[in-house]
Amino acid sequence: MRGKQSSSNPICDGHRDEFGVGYAMQGIGYAMGPGPVLKVEDLRVSFSTRRGVGMAVNGVSFEVKKGETLGLVGESGCGKSTVALSIMKLLPRPPAKFEGGRVLFEGEDLMAMDEEEVRSYRGRHIGMIFQDPMSSLNPVYNINFQVAEPLRIHQGLRGSALVDQVVTLLRRMRIPAPENRARDYPHQFSGGMRQRVVGSIALSCEPELIIADEPTTALDATIQAQYLNLLRELQEDTGVAILLITHDFSVVAKMCHRVAVMYAGTIVETAEVETIFNNPAHPYTQALMAAVPDIAAWKGHLSPIDGSPPSIYETHRGCPFAPRCAVVQDRCREEAPPETQRAKEHGVRCWLHV
């Protein structure tokens, strides 16, 4: 368990927020496994459209250990959701095309498997919580049918055993009166309750990994805090690994053990969450942290990042962040920086640290 860390950033100063949810820096009860559950190596994915071929994911590498939450952060359009969908092989092909790399789940390369083999992993070994529960739940089927589906397919449950397991899962996600609510349809649930149903589906077969793609975007602050607290409790109970995609650094502080920062289809920095908040190395990470509003020290203005992320159809000779970087050098515009290990769990792609 981690000890309390000090920080000048109010997001991660070891305090509890107004909803009573402790931050990650205060200590999370988890036991990481010795090896990664998921290991992504040099993943490259392109899209072919009328505009041409765009490289949406360009050489992404990271790993997630048992009992760990890895946060994948970055601006919209940087490739976070594309990475998540690529792991599950859910991208439509075409226009998507797998250009290279490996996705190793407990040593097995998912990218080398055919559709039938990968389907046996979805839901059973890898669960996914999508961003919008209203679009990920089918409006014409009741909750019982949708939560029961992976149990029927992967565990062969039928009859009363299946009904009992659905009720148990809904109760585990703190849905009141699950025996009755299981007969309801998605439109009869609130946004927070729908997201809990999606969580029940993702956890139904006790997967080793959950991919959560901005799971709290549609939730208000109170429900978000409750939902994150519930996910963390489930992780402590089961040791499930979580790949958490989010824009919200308060969610990162509450949930994550390590953070991978993405920009223009590549990971520019990976480090433990305390390092990202207290001592970020890449100029892009520093700019992201500076853009987080500090209510306690409000100066009347925000600190935006000038410019916009590059299009996936643009080619880069050097560092993709160079046009927006405040400390850019001539070399940055000509050569892409290699990854440099600043510490055991801290890698950064920037010429300032080579």
What does DSSP say about strands 266-272 and 258-263: parallel, antiparallel, or unpaired?
A: antiparallel
pLDDT at 123: 85
Please name the residue that has the structure tokens 């305390």.
274
Return d(Cα 20, Cα 222) in angstroms, integer: 10
Claim to verify: residue 172 and residue 142 sit in the same structural domain:
yes
Residue 292: inside a domain, yes or no? yes
Note whether residue 76 is domain-resident: yes
Look at residue 78 and tell me if it is in a domain: yes
Choose among 168, 242, 240, 235: nearest CA to 211.
242
DSSP conformation letters of 155-184: H---HHHHHHHHHHHHHHTT-SSHHHHTTS
Same domain, 302 and 263: yes
Please give the chain's pLDDT, 354 residues, in tens: 333 333 344 444 443 343 333 334 444 444 565 679 999 999 999 999 999 999 999 999 999 999 999 999 999 889 999 999 999 899 988 899 999 999 999 989 999 998 889 988 988 899 998 877 778 899 999 999 999 999 998 988 899 999 999 999 999 888 899 999 999 999 999 888 898 899 889 888 889 999 999 888 777 788 788 888 888 888 888 889 999 999 888 889 889 999 999 999 999 999 999 999 999 999 999 999 888 877 776 666 778 888 888 889 888 789 999 999 999 999 999 999 999 999 888 999 999 988
Are 180 and 115 part of one and the same domain? no
Do 113 and 168 belong together in one domain? no
| Same domain membership, residue 111 and residue 38 | yes
pTM for this prediction: 0.85
Cα 258 off chain centre by: 11
Is 339 a domain residue? no
The answer as to whether 346 is a domain residue is: no
In a domain, 113, yes or no: yes
Expressed as residue numbers, the domain containing 31 is 10-125+207-314
Q: Are residues 266 and 162 in the same domain?
A: no
Q: Report the C-alpha gap between 66 and 141 in whole angstroms.
A: 34
CB contact set of 46 (below 8 Å; sequence gap of 6+)? 53, 54, 55, 56, 96, 97, 99
At 217, which CATH number?
Answer: 3.40.50.300
Do residues 32 and 103 share a domain?
yes
